[in-house]
């Protein structure tokens, strides 16, 4: 005899209704979002693609996050969690800053696709604020002024994010093809010769980091004169 199902079983997919155990958690959303960005970039992070990676539908996400806006904070929190700040408890300031800078760079070189959005979105998560505070406190303990501390930290970030993105992201900023197309032979030769991108990124960043530390160790950067540095011998 005909079962009495009617339109209720018209489709083959799960019908609405609260599951006995939740399918989705905020942590799960964060992890899936970072995975998606690492693999395919922010443009691929749609509510639909994110939900399907979690075995659910886009509207379900709104029970756990308030909108796309929240995704940025969740992803930043995950990435910043990978940055080591423990060295400020044990090492002298200059050594700690170097180790911190290397860790910061390393983490973003591992997640270069996060940079385009994270580098231009206001910071709203506690973990990142906490990281800044840790660095600032260590600097203050060594007598650095607020201005000097902020200038150093921001310069470190710009250079770290810039090199990590420039040499790790899928699309390089300057392509050999573009340089050749517009008849810039010198630039083309420089760009082409950067063969091992990953190694060069770390080398370049390390040079710039050491330079920053050396200069800021002396005092406020305003006190460094061009004549002074020029007088240096190798």
Least distance to its own copies from the beta carbon of 5, Å?
45
Q: Give Cβ neighbours of residue 111 (< 8 Å, ≥ 6 apart).
A: 34, 37, 38, 79
Among 22, 58, 137, 199, binds its own copies (CB under 8 A): 137
d(CA 172, CA 195): 13
Please report how close the Cβ of residue 169 comes to DNA at its closest, in angstroms. 21
Nearest approach in angstroms of CB 12 to DNA is 9
Give the span between the Cα atoms of 191 and 187, in whole angstroms.
6
Residue 213 interacts with its own copies (CB under 8 A): yes or no:
yes
DSSP 108: H
Considering the complex, state which of residue 62 and residue 190 has its C-beta at the smaller distance from DNA. 62
Q: Decide: 153 and 132 in contact? Cβ < 8 Å.
A: yes
Q: Contact between 34 and DNA (CB under 7 A)?
A: no
Q: Identify the residue among 59, 173, 197, 198 touching its own copies (CB under 8 A).
A: 173
Considering CB distances under 5 to 8 angstroms, the limit depending on partner class, which of its own copies, DNA, none binds residue 18?
DNA
Which range touches DNA (CB under 7 A), out of 51-59, 89-97, 116-124, 187-195?
51-59
Using CB under 8 A, which of 83, 91, 150, 202 touches its own copies? Answer: 150
Considering only residues 5 through 24, tell me which ones interact with DNA, judged by CB under 7 A. 11, 13-19, 22-24
143 binds, among DNA, its own copies, none (CB under 5 to 8 A by kind): none
199 binds its own copies (CB under 8 A): no
Question: What is the token pair recorded at 69?
Answer: 């806006």
> Residue 9 CB: number of other CB atoms within 10 A?
9
Question: 53 vs 11, 74, 110, CA distance in Å?
Answer: 21, 17, 21
**Separation of alpha carbons 93 and 138, rounded Å:** 7
Instruction: Note the Cα 106 to chain centre separation in Å.
Output: 10
Q: Binding of its own copies at residue 229 (CB under 8 A)?
A: yes
Tokens of 85: 């700040």
Contact call for residue 99 and its own copies (CB under 8 A): no
Cα separation, 164 vs 198, in Å, equals 9
- Binder of its own copies out of 91, 102, 202, 215 (CB under 8 A): 215
Q: Interface residues with DNA (CB under 7 A)?
A: 11, 13-19, 22-24, 45-49, 51, 56-60, 62-64, 67-69
């Amino acid at each position: 005899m005909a079962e009495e199902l009617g339109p209720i079983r018209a489709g083959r997919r799960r019908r609405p209704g609260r599951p006995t155990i939740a399918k989705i958690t905020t942590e799960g959303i964060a992890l899936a979002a970072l995975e998606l960005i690492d693999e395919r970039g922010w443009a691929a992070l749609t509510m639909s693609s994110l939900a399907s990676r979690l075995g659910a539908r886009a509207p379900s996400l709104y029970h756990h996050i308030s909108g796309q806006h929240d995704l940025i904070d969740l992803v930043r929190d995950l990435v910043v969690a990978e940055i080591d700040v423990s060295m400020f408890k044990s090492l002298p300031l200059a050594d700690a800053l170097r180790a911190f800078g290397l860790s910061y760079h390393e983490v973003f070189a591992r997640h270069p696709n996060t940079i385009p959005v994270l580098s231009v979105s206001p910071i709203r998560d506690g973990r990142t604020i906490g990281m800044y505070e840790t660095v600032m406190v260590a600097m203050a303990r060594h007598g650095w002024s607020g201005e000097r501390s902020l200038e150093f930290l921001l310069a470190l970030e710009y250079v770290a994010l810039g090199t990590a993105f420039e040499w790790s992201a899928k699309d390089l900023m300057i392509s050999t093809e573009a340089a050749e197309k517009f008849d810039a032979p010198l630039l083309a030769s420089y760009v082409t010769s950067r063969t091992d991108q990953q190694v060069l990124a770390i080398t370049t960043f390390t040079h710039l980091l050491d330079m920053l530390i050396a200069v800021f160790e002396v005092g406020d950067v305003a006190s460094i004169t061009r004549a002074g540095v020029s007088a240096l011998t190798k």
